[in-house]
């Protein structure tokens, strides 16, 4: 279901982008970097967090870490990572395949400036062995993401 929701999203909004399905897992940043022949920082990891009652997706460079101080300054509270079951329920994507495409529940999407070090990034595509190659700015445009600086 999740991979299909990503394919449907891309077919409608970016039919030129193809989902790449690999035999090996790309469920972690390091595995994804190996599978797609890029450096770990070029993997666009998607994190589902909650601050207060607000749930959101943060897309950041693969080696970036959320900075609690920056996050609190931007969103007014400390981020709380959601558990795997809640992430699956809200996004339709399993942990390791979470991406900002074809999500089940509309929510704000933010791209961290750590992604801007690359012209092209590789986010997951709804499964632990699926990804896409996409221009960094196009990723933000397609998902209506807002740029933020919340990582170190």
For residue 85, give the 3-state DSSP assignment.
Answer: helix
Task: Give me the pLDDT at residue 27, please.
Answer: 87
108-135 confidence digits (pLDDT tens): 999 999 999 999 999 999 999 999 999 9
Rounded Cα distance between 152 and 134, Å, is 23
End-to-end Cα spacing for the chain: 34
Burial of 133 per CB tally in 10 Å (0-12, 13-18, 19+): middle
Full-model pTM? 0.96
Region 5-20: mean pLDDT is 96
1: pLDDT strictly greater than 80 = no
């Amino acid at each position: 279901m999740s991979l299909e929701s990503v394919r449907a999203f891309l077919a409608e909004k970016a039919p030129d982008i193809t989902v790449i399905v690999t035999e090996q897992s790309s469920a972690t940043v390091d595995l994804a970097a190996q599978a797609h022949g890029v450096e770990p920082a070029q993997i666009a990891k998607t994190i589902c967090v909650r601050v207060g009652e607000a749930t959101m997706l943060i897309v950041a460079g693969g080696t970036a870490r959320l900075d609690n101080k920056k996050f609190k300054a931007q969103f007014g509270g400390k981020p709380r990572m959601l558990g795997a079951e809640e992430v699956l329920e809200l996004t339709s994507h399993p942990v390791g395949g979470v991406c900002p495409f074809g999500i089940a529940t509309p929510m704000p999407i933010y791209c961290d400036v750590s992604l801007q070090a690359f012209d092209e990034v590789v986010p997951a595509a709804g499964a632990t062995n699926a990804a896409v190659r996409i221009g960094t700015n196009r990723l933000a445009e397609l998902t209506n993401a807002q740029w933020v600086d919340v990582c170190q």
